[in-house]
Structure 1
Amino acid sequence: MKVEPGVPYPLGATFDGRGTNFAIFSANAEKIELCLFDNTGRRETDRVVLPAVSEDVWHAYLPQVVPGQVYGYRVYGPYDPERGHRFNPHKLLLDPYAKRLTGHFVWSDAHFAYRMRSARGDLSFDKRDNARGVPKAVVVDDAFTWGRHPRPAVPWHSTVIYEAHVRGLTMLREDVPSHLRGSFRGLAAPSMIEHYKRLGITAIELLPVHAFVDERMLVDKGLRQYWGYGTIGFFAPEPRYGTPETGVEDFKSMVGQLHDAGLEVYLDVVYNHTGEGNHLGPTLSFRGIDNASYYWLRPNAPRYYEDFTGTGNSLNLTHPRVLQMVMDSLRYWVEQCHVDGFRFDLATTLGREPHGFDPTSGFFAAIGQDPVLSRVKLIAEPWDIGLGGYQLGGFPPGWSEWNDQFRRTVRSFWRGDANQIRDLAARVTGSADRFRHRRRMPRASINHVTVHDGFTLADLVSYARKHNEANGEGNRDGSDDNISANWGVEGPTTDKEIREVRRRVRSGLLATLFLSQGVPLMLAGDEVGNSQGGNNNPYCQDNEVGWVDWSGLGRDGDDLVALVEKLTALRRDYPQLQGRRWLVGRRGDQYDVKWLTPGGTEMDGADWAFAEARFLSYVLAPLDPSGAPLLILFNAAAHPVDVVLPTWPDCAAWTRVLATVAPDDPRTEAPKPGTTFATPSRSVTVFAGTP
């Protein structure tokens, strides 16, 4: 085969219409071989030593190689774990820049660079070839006809996020064609788009779609990685959500259809670690290409990894080539696949420097100056498990963050806990105590009550404790701190009173989410009462436990679609709900928010200090003087609360625009100020002022 030196950029396999350039980074390798396979990936047809190296990038140009070519790498260098090097040319390695994978991963001891049962552990050396049991990269042509697919470009203040799993969302959805269920194309099926539009969401945030690996311990238990937090390729879509031949095209087609419907697409991305695990993990890609460059190693014991993530390893974004890979990956998904934003898993790790987390780190600087990435939506999960890992509110301007304090406070309030109203007031008005600095706005707070990690909304009101036995870890995995209640019976029940309480609390939780300043994020399936049977960590449940159960759609007591529809309409109709400004209370003789006692008077210090309060009410002033004020009543008490409707400038009456529980007195549709209104137990009621 004819081989030319090629060029060191771009990294990966790049087809130019005549041949393919291969480029791969390794600072410590001594030799790299490119292995070419037949279309099945089973038979190696050629092996080429990369002839050139430029500033740690090894490269070659092969004029005869075209899209569809299957390939992998073998990297030669020292196997010296105590110095941080784990090269083993007997292991076929995946290109970090692979944009398509073919073949299945089949676990065996051959995937480990050391002899599994050696007394020397990972200091030993394994000479078995693993090529038959690993996925391989495929050369692709990035050409795709997008047609007329304008990006929705939804403003932050109008954004409503729906977190979903590509496979789990549609596997049990009967109005999605069976051959599309669980796939990228199924997620954009007409019935699904109709559902999204009815809910009023503006963006779908997908759990990881980058190629990932099933952990061996799960496979040995008959389980598999479901959520996808074990990335092995940051450019390739996970093959199980499409087909090896059409996965990228399926993803792009899905994005185009969602854009046509006015919906943005965000990806949950995992750049904090890989699926290679700790020092005893397999050698699949990064570890065998240049372990000492890709990973954080312990300074005084580089045999071992710094583990800020709880997965065994952490990617080292302080290395310029690792940072380059992350930036190239992000730009690829934006420019080639038209993604609108990202949610960064354990984002504190990405901002770590040798001295700890730094909001001015190289990663944040690179994002901030990038003309492509600085314009998309950037959402951080603002913590990891390392020292100083909890960084809520600590990310730079331009970023939004998952607000777990919102979740804790709202759950506690609706469970009926004491001493919650002061915190609740801070959370529903944008969490200024966390985010009001460096001219950040309320949109910095991504508010959520439930997400994939933890109880669903139905389980939050049905279980007092987790039930993760199916995960095979003795129910030790998953959080024990769920701030949940079963309201009388653990799990499902036919008791009408308990079911009614659960429905009221679910409705109250959802209403609080959507009526709060900041950006609401809801978990897919919460609108139809989806349950995971009390499992709060179904990361390995690629089955009916983890999939959304749509049987509650249209069923009384479970179906809250109409409520969500009404709540998102309220956010559109009343701009003061959208968090376009920080609220300060009194401004001279006017208020942007006024906190009220049940008697209709302004709250004072004693009212805020009342520990047993389960009720909070306030008026939000309109942004425009011609708009209507909103009176919002949260009642988490087990009994009705009588409220005197307040006076407000130019307000002749209060028109009820939302009631999660119908009031006993139907004559309260448009009461005048001074009227006493009985707020039902465990309910949310909203009135709009009428001139």
Structure 2
Amino acid sequence: MIAVDDGVPAPLGAHFDGRGVNFALFSEHATAVDICLFEPGERHETRTVRLPCRTDDVWHGYLRGVLPGQLYGYRVHGPWDPGNGHRFNPSKLLLDPYAREIRGKIRWHDALYGHRRGGREDRIDRRDSAVYMPRCVVTAPEVPNLALDPVRRPLADTVVYEAHVKALTRTHPAIPEPERGTYAALAHPAIIEHLVKLGVTALELLPIQGFVDDRFLVDKGLVNFWGYQPLSYFAPDPRYLGEGGLGSLKAAIRELNAAGIETWLDVVYNHTAEGDHTGPTLAFRGIDNASYYKLDPADRHRNIDCTGCGNTFDVSHPRVMQLVLDSLRHWVTAYGIAGFRFDLASSLGRSPLAFSPQAAFFQAVAQDPVLARVKMVAEPWDIGEGGYQLGGYPRGWSEWNDQFRDATRGFWKGDSGTLAKVTQGLTGSREVFAPSRRSPLASVNFIASHDGFTLADTVAYEAKHNEANGEDNRDGHGHNVSRNYGVEGDTDNPAVLSLRARQKRNMLATVMLAQGVPMLLMGDERSRSQGGNNNAYAQDNPTSWMDWSTDPDPALSGFVSNLLALRRSQPALRRRRFFTGTLIDPDQPLRDVHWLAPEGTEMGESHWSDDGLQAFGMQIGNDGEPGDRLLMLFNAGEGACTFHLDPVVGGPWWPVFDTGEPEGASPPDAPAYASGAAVPLAGRTVLVLTAAGAGAGIRAGWASGR
């Protein structure tokens, strides 16, 4: 039997205390809130309870006798007044924003819309939507588990691997079929062994917070595979649960932790799946549209859209910010998440409309005792006015550096005028991040991500090929900074394949040899292709899945592994402070970063202003340890060149890494180069040399399994 008491207004959500459940829901403009209880398999609620109390705009009630596993949803009463931003419609079943588990999925129907779809927007639709909606689930209390504490690896030692739960695991032959594509598969020894062997330290998962398949995609037989249409910020998306339930995700993160790998989440707090003012009423719109979304001050029936997805979550509202912060803390404390990548993060800093690094959200994160210990990474743009904010985030934040990506791609494909940009990226993009008093670790460097061409497609396609998305190839951006080297797409021409293999290695080396935090896209180490699709967000099929059965470049994984072993062995590649260009020794003209022209002199103004220069050298030392030095020689030109080592850089130098080698490691018998020597450098090559004696130690480390 269920008895109803007043309950308490905090915490928000549904919380079981051993005897019953306290329900609490924020809605500033509602006039009443009903909790709807469902039995498994029933199309409609079996009991409706009016929440009896309202405290500081939180509606709450305690239902004694309700147990974990109970299915529920809300119906919220209030004015139907779209002109003033209010879209209350109690005919629509709504998800609890704080639900820890969601069961079922949306079945698209016009009854899910608060207004008469296709008709006048101001006409309310009173059809019941419950039969088409998933249910929230009351969960048991979360017990702190010390085993879920993340590894907390220093950011300077971090290498990020961006992946999708299903795409990474769907086809691996060692994973039992029922587990493939689920959270549990992330913990399979075959997956963990692959990540450990590569040398990555953080697995960044594309969105797993509960999300929606857009109606227009479902109508075309597609899905939102990437997951960037969120609806439930506390619940893992049920499509990846498998037989293990919520515990399978916690178990996977625990196993990754044991292997020394942090788990990061790509999170989407900039918009929700409810779309623009013509979209469905699934949760926030029906709970309190005027509080949760930014509305156009001149026309409050419309949303402000800084995201390209129809709406913008109003994180400047105190209760909306509370939800985001509560959600982030939940993923840290309940699941052991060690880092977050924020999609379209500029929208989080709009207070209320203009971006500010002093926005309340950033300040709240900085002082939060849980979140202040977590790695925060911004996608530093949205599509609103002033939305591109690379370098504009506050201390404590890192950012995806798309300028690094474009400069690196352009340099290696032979674009003129890219030298200054690629060298800026190699030094940690000081010009971008130093003004905000941050270090090179603010720059997350990458050559490819989920959004755009894969590494293999960057050297195989010059135009996007997105026809499978059903939008006549109009979707996806056209700025790919790519080159096909004579053939668009697949080829069996050995010369073209050899050149593509070399260029993949050159771009990977540039990422891993640069100051900052390197990121690798899932499958780039296996030359994964999407057939030229640079926007595969709707492709839940082999286009997106990792193909574990074939490897078109079998030496590439070993190349990445050796490259990351080199990075781990060389503190000079993992500096925590920017180079300054100052002299290491006042009596010697050698700088902490010393740029070399091929003719054997320090690069001067004439070199930096030469738009056609495609070869340079870079000598660096570790911060505070000038004796720990590396010499890196880059040649993006088609033809070979000879580097004359400036006597200032000293010698001898041992070659340790060469992108002309299939797996990267220089031959053990490679000769050392004395001070002032001439170093032959093949076209389209990176050669890394280290101080005398160190090279043999690095190669020995590789041979012993790193």
CA 1:351 to 1:254, structure 2 compared with 1: closer, same or farther past 3 Å? same
* Deviation string, structure 1 residues 196-237 (Cα, Å, up to 9, x no partner): 111111101110000001100000000011000000000000
Structure 2 equivalent of residue 540 of structure 1: 538
Alignment gaps of 5+ in structure 2 = 694-706
The 1-side partners of 2:33 and 2:535 are apart by: 41
CA contact under 8 A between 1:583 and 1:592: conserved in structure 2? yes
CA contact under 8 A between 2:393 and 2:436: conserved in structure 1? no
**Deviation of the 1:39 alpha carbon:** 2.5
1:586 paired with 2:582, answer yes
CA contact under 8 A between 1:654 and 1:671: conserved in structure 2? yes
The 2-side partners of 1:247 and 1:72 are apart by: 20
Letter in 2 for 1:628: D
Structure 1 equivalent of residue 692 of structure 2: 690
The 2-side partners of 1:449 and 1:209 are apart by: 24
The 1-side partners of 2:643 and 2:116 are apart by: 73
| 1:105-144 matched pairs, under 5 angstroms | 105-118=106-119, 120=120, 122-143=121-142
Structure 1 equivalent of residue 77 of structure 2: 76
* Deviation string, structure 1 residues 298-344 (Cα, Å, up to 9, x no partner): 00100000000000000001111101000100010011111001000
CA contact under 8 A between 1:77 and 1:87: conserved in structure 2? yes
**Deviation of the 1:41 alpha carbon:** 4.9
CA contact under 8 A between 1:591 and 1:621: conserved in structure 2? no
* Deviation string, structure 1 residues 28-55 (Cα, Å, up to 9, x no partner): 1111110000023534211000000001
**Deviation of the 1:246 alpha carbon:** 4.4
CA contact under 8 A between 1:19 and 1:66: conserved in structure 2? yes
**Deviation of the 1:355 alpha carbon:** 4.7
Structure 2 equivalent of residue 621 of structure 1: 621
The 2-side partners of 1:247 and 1:278 are apart by: 33
Structure 2 equivalent of residue 310 of structure 1: 308
| 1:159-308 matched pairs, under 5 angstroms | 159-243=158-242, 246-308=244-306
Structure 1 equivalent of residue 700 of structure 2: none
After the TM superposition, which of the residue ranges 174-183 and 47-56 deviates more from structure 2? 174-183
After the TM superposition, which of the residue ranges 353-362 and 163-172 deviates more from structure 2? 353-362
CA contact under 8 A between 2:212 and 2:231: conserved in structure 1? yes
1:635 paired with 2:644, answer no
| 1:159-558 matched pairs, under 5 angstroms | 159-243=158-242, 246-553=244-551, 555=552, 557-558=553-554
The 1-side partners of 2:68 and 2:578 are apart by: 53
* Deviation string, structure 1 residues 351-387 (Cα, Å, up to 9, x no partner): 0013500111111111111111011000000000000
Letter in 2 for 1:512: T
Letter in 1 for 2:259: A
After the TM superposition, which of the residue ranges 563-572 and 136-145 deviates more from structure 2? 136-145
Structure 1 equivalent of residue 704 of structure 2: none
Q: Percent identity?
A: 49
**Deviation of the 1:251 alpha carbon:** 1.2
Structure 2 equivalent of residue 561 of structure 1: 557
CA contact under 8 A between 1:149 and 1:260: conserved in structure 2? no
The 2-side partners of 1:173 and 1:634 are apart by: 37
Structure 1 equivalent of residue 35 of structure 2: 34
The 2-side partners of 1:374 and 1:179 are apart by: 38
Name the SS of the counterpart of 1:437 in structure 2.
helix
Name the SS of the counterpart of 1:97 in structure 2.
coil
CA 1:113 to 1:355, structure 2 compared with 1: closer, same or farther past 3 Å? closer
Letter in 1 for 2:107: V
Structure 1 equivalent of residue 94 of structure 2: 93
* Deviation string, structure 1 residues 45-94 (Cα, Å, up to 9, x no partner): 11000000001000000110110000000111111111101011111000
CA 1:186 to 1:145, structure 2 compared with 1: closer, same or farther past 3 Å? farther
**Deviation of the 1:632 alpha carbon:** 0.3
Letter in 2 for 1:172: T
The 1-side partners of 2:691 and 2:38 are apart by: 71
Alignment gaps of 5+ in structure 1 = none
Structure 2 equivalent of residue 673 of structure 1: 675
The 2-side partners of 1:26 and 1:159 are apart by: 41
1:44 paired with 2:45, answer yes
Name the SS of the counterpart of 2:488 in structure 1.
coil
Letter in 1 for 2:153: V
Letter in 1 for 2:345: A
Name the SS of the counterpart of 1:22 in structure 2.
strand
Letter in 2 for 1:155: P
Structure 1 equivalent of residue 605 of structure 2: 605
CA 1:210 to 1:93, structure 2 compared with 1: closer, same or farther past 3 Å? same
The 1-side partners of 2:349 and 2:144 are apart by: 36
CA contact under 8 A between 1:530 and 1:552: conserved in structure 2? no
Name the SS of the counterpart of 2:536 in structure 1.
coil
**Deviation of the 1:673 alpha carbon:** 2.2
* Deviation string, structure 1 residues 586-637 (Cα, Å, up to 9, x no partner): 3233421100011221111111111111112111124454843111011111
CA contact under 8 A between 1:146 and 1:256: conserved in structure 2? no
Structure 1 equivalent of residue 654 of structure 2: 655
Let me know the Cα RMSD of the aligned residues.
Answer: 1.7
The 2-side partners of 1:145 and 1:42 are apart by: 35
CA contact under 8 A between 1:530 and 1:550: conserved in structure 2? no
CA contact under 8 A between 1:213 and 1:232: conserved in structure 2? yes
**Deviation of the 1:12 alpha carbon:** 0.3
Letter in 2 for 1:576: A
**Deviation of the 1:579 alpha carbon:** 2.7
Structure 2 equivalent of residue 11 of structure 1: 12
CA contact under 8 A between 2:148 and 2:336: conserved in structure 1? no
CA contact under 8 A between 1:514 and 1:568: conserved in structure 2? yes
CA contact under 8 A between 2:104 and 2:238: conserved in structure 1? no
1:23 paired with 2:28, answer no
Letter in 1 for 2:631: L
After the TM superposition, which of the residue ranges 177-186 and 328-337 deviates more from structure 2? 177-186
The 2-side partners of 1:666 and 1:205 are apart by: 35
Letter in 1 for 2:223: R
CA 1:477 to 1:239, structure 2 compared with 1: closer, same or farther past 3 Å? same
The 2-side partners of 1:289 and 1:625 are apart by: 58
CA contact under 8 A between 1:41 and 1:103: conserved in structure 2? no
CA contact under 8 A between 2:83 and 2:301: conserved in structure 1? yes
1:576 paired with 2:572, answer yes
Letter in 2 for 1:561: S
The 1-side partners of 2:150 and 2:17 are apart by: 28
CA contact under 8 A between 2:168 and 2:522: conserved in structure 1? yes
The 2-side partners of 1:665 and 1:21 are apart by: 67
The 2-side partners of 1:81 and 1:295 are apart by: 13
Structure 1 equivalent of residue 701 of structure 2: none
CA contact under 8 A between 1:503 and 1:558: conserved in structure 2? no
Letter in 1 for 2:252: M
After the TM superposition, which of the residue ranges 107-116 and 147-156 deviates more from structure 2? 147-156
Q: How many residues align?
A: 685
Query: Normalization by structure 2: what TM-score?
Result: 0.95
The 1-side partners of 2:156 and 2:42 are apart by: 48
The 1-side partners of 2:548 and 2:671 are apart by: 34
The 1-side partners of 2:391 and 2:420 are apart by: 19
